[in-house]
Amino acid sequence: MFMFRLIIISFLFLALRVDKANAQLSYKKFGNKLLPYSEILVDGSGHGNFTTIQSAINSIPSNNKYWTTIRIKAGNYREKVIIPKDKSYILLKGSGKSKTLVEWDDHSDLKIPTFSSLADNIIVKSISFRNSYNNPINNKPKIPAIAAKVSGDNTYFFRVGFYGYQDTLYDAKGRHYYKLCTIQGAVDFIFGAGQSLFERCSINVIGDGYITAQGRESPNDSNGFVFKDSHVFGNATTYLGRAWRQYARVLFYNTNLTNVIQPLGWDSWNFNTHENLITFAEYGNFGPGADTSKRVDWVNKLDKTTIENMASVNFIDDKKEWIDNQPY
């Protein structure tokens, strides 16, 4: 009888510990499934679980399997933020693109952006990242200074701001979806070898240069940049892009191109003897910058099927593997 009672007490104690451990877990709909997730609050004034974003990320166990939402109160966060490769399933949510700002000012080295997202299955919403090193008003040299680097797969940005001058957004590799985002810069300010769809985004040109420098290296690579239903504007002049690698691929689709666009449109950069390998294309754009009569003579005319495939989520999620399975 004593042993039976001891077993019952032990079981109840274990159950109590399990309930306490799960008390911070809630449930959220992911596609058609209801799965556990947890929340962390970051508040710079000290009224949350953490005062810095990085400390909140550090608290998440490596190789975690459930989504964790890190909610960030409004404010300016003076820190570099890194989501390491072994910390997936993080939803980073600020209080608004104009209310929550993460800012730093490193430069030149591709490894030191203000924000680095290196893991797969990451969502970022309602926040902005700025590299202030060569802000136009501080008269510092105009050199690479990255606001954000994205190299994980299955990454979604919604209402996120990226602010810099040269090399603002390093879209390095992986499948990425940018929706209702703002990207500011002058020289190669969206660059890399990501396979990315930019939908309904605002592209703000603040200095003469190039919007994109895409890095596709082989005709068999699936990556490229697609800008759909977006708006390109600013106070300087710009090319739509130049080829960072010899098979660079960029499409502007149904986008408002204002008079900031250089008439030639595109630049082959170091590949002027291999222009036939580059895929730079425009379709259905409007505005004074959409006039293609003076474009470079090697700009591509893609067939309608290719354009329709690239200008949809099929370009980044053709098997419906990830976008529909993220938290609502």
Q: Residue 152 has which token pair? A: 């994980």
CB atoms within 10 A of CB 44: 19
- Composition of the chain by helix, strand, coil, percent to 5: 15, 40, 45
What residue has token string 């002058």? 186
Catalytic residue among 188, 208, 291, 317: 188
Task: List the beta strands (DSSP E) in 172-324.
Answer: 175-179, 182-192, 195-199, 202-214, 224-228, 231-234, 238-243, 249-253, 256-257, 266-267, 279-283
Cα–Cα distance, 298 to 276 (Å, whole number): 7
Our answer to whether residue 221 is catalytic in this structure is no
Write out the DSSP string of 134-198.
T-TTS--------SEEE-SSSEEEEEEEEE-SBS-EEE-SSEEEEES-EEEEEEEEEEES-EEEE
- The whole-angstrom distance between residue 240's C-alpha and the CA centroid of its chain comes to 19
Q: What angle do CA 179, 136, 52 make, to 5 degrees?
A: 55
CA-based nearest residue to 300, from 272, 275, 281: 281
Helix (H) or strand (E) holding 7: helix 2-22
What amino acid positions are annotated as catalytic residues?
188
